[in-house]
Amino acid sequence: MDDNGEGDHGDLGDPTLPSSPVKDKSPIPGLSKLVVVQICFRIGELVNRASKCRSANQDAIFELYARVKSSSRDSSGRVQHFEFMDLFKSYPPHLAGTLSGWKRGSLVDEQSAAFLAITDPKMCRCICKMRRVTKGKHTSWVLEVMSIRETVWDNVDWIKATAFRGQ
């Protein structure tokens, strides 16, 4: 399959993962025993899971496999903006996201720079949190990107096989 979402991988759906908290002393910054980690392969499923977590007052970090439609950095070069689209479909919903607070020359800086000036959507693995933003009368979900990197179908297939194991 190519990066445009067309091919033989089909619609992965999303695994039903247990909503168990992370173990104490996680090696991943931002995780604690009060945080649930969710893997999502679809934008719609990400929004649904974020809504459920918000309703349950459950803090969650999401591992999202999607495509970046566009990306740019602000004039200071300290905030990068993304437009995310579904891994399989090009039509909405699309979600906005931002990455900030990285060090210049860091791995996060290098990995996120791969999405600048793209002409075609590029597949990504994004670790993020979701938050609601209200502008005027409009409220929407946005991603707070913690890390992002390019990915390929082999990685998506491996994660799918791991996450769906036993289902």
Q: What is the mean pLDDT of the chain?
A: 83
pLDDT tens-digit readout, 12-41: 555 544 444 545 555 555 555 677 888 999
pTM as predicted: 0.80
Q: Are strands 35-40 and 59-73 parallel, antiparallel or unpaired?
A: parallel
* Residue 31: C-alpha distances to residues 28, 132, 136 (Å): 6, 20, 33
Query: Which pLDDT belongs to residue 24?
Result: 56
pLDDT tens-digit readout, 80-124: 999 999 999 999 999 999 999 888 889 999 999 999 989 999 999
Reported CATH class of domain 35-163: mainly beta
